[in-house]
Each structure stands twice: as C-alpha cells, then as structure tokens.
Homo-oligomer: A and B are copies of this chain.
C-alpha cells in the first residue's frame, strides 16, 4: 500500500508559499489508517514503552492509538494554558515569533520509557521542545516517530540525540 496516495497537497496553507501535507484522506480510509498505525508500531520493534506523548492537535490522532497497541499510557502535550493541572512549559522559536508547549508534571514518572509522536516532522522545534519536557520530568525518550518527514527542512538535526523514524519522506 502506498500511503502517499492518501496524502493531499494543499497549496498556500496555512500561509502563502507553503505546501501543506493534508493527512485527512489517510484518516478517512480504514485500511490506510490501520496500515499507517502498524508501520509506526513496527518502528518500535519489541522495545517496551510506558508512555506515548502526542502533540496538539494532529499528534492526538495516532498517539492514543499507539498507546493502545503498545499497552502504554497516553500523554497530551498542549499549547500554553490548555492543560488544567500543574504543568511545566518549554518555549521555542518559530520562523516568526515563539510558541510554548506544556506537559502535566505528573504525566511522566522518573524512568518512564517514552515514545514521542507527531504527524509531521518539519523544522523539529515542536518535537525538540517535547523531548525536553519529557526529560525534565525524568523520562527517557526511546524514539520520536512521525507519519511524514519534510527532509528539506532538516528537522532531524534538532533531534540528533534521539532515534527518529518517519513513514513518508518528502
């Protein structure tokens, strides 16, 4: 199955000059959805995972499914002010301006083996900030995985100290 058949290019979204990779056709197809989930799971081989961390909002699609398959808990990382309980935050630079991500302080226990998942690896800022949050709580990032990696943005460079796997490369 070629999953690229289920990824749609959207020109000038969210801003002029950007070609957005729309994964909704993949989500809409039960066979493609299962196939993608299995591919992500296969990246783990037989490594034990305690928590799967997914980033708001599109990381929320596959991270809970991965947690389910791996017998792990799911942990949401959210934008500033969205998590209701005690949290720590990381601020990171974007092309224009900054963004802040948060994680609940009780979401990761010291020594937890963690899978970090998002839909797309672009510049790597979001994933790097998430890995920092996990490590500040004493978790060990076993792997970062993605549906899609935009190779030309070289986001992998910001995740050098971690294993990084992506199903589709552009």
Q: Which residues of A contact B (CB under 8 A)?
A: 8, 10, 13-14, 20, 22, 24, 27-30, 33-34, 37, 51, 56-57, 60-62, 64-65, 67-68, 71-76, 78, 82-85, 104, 107
Q: CB distance A33 to B84 under 8 Å? A: no
Contact of A30 among B33, B56, B72 (CB under 8 A): B72
Query: Of B28, B57, B104, which one neighbours A57 at CB under 8 angstroms?
Result: B57
Known contacts A20-B84, A24-B107, A84-B10; A64 and B61 CB within 8 A of each other: yes
Q: A64 and B62 in contact (CB under 8 A), knowing A27-B75, A28-B75?
A: yes
How distant is A153 from chain B, measured CB to nearest CB, in Å? Answer: 18
- The interface residues of chain B lying within 8 Å CB-to-CB of A107 are 24, 28
Cβ-closest chain B residue relative to A34: B68
Instruction: Using CB atoms, name the residue of chain B closest to A74.
Output: B27
Instruction: List chain B residues, Cβ under 8 A from A65.
Output: 64-65, 68
Known contacts being A34-B68, A68-B34, is A28 close to B74, with CB within 8 Å? yes
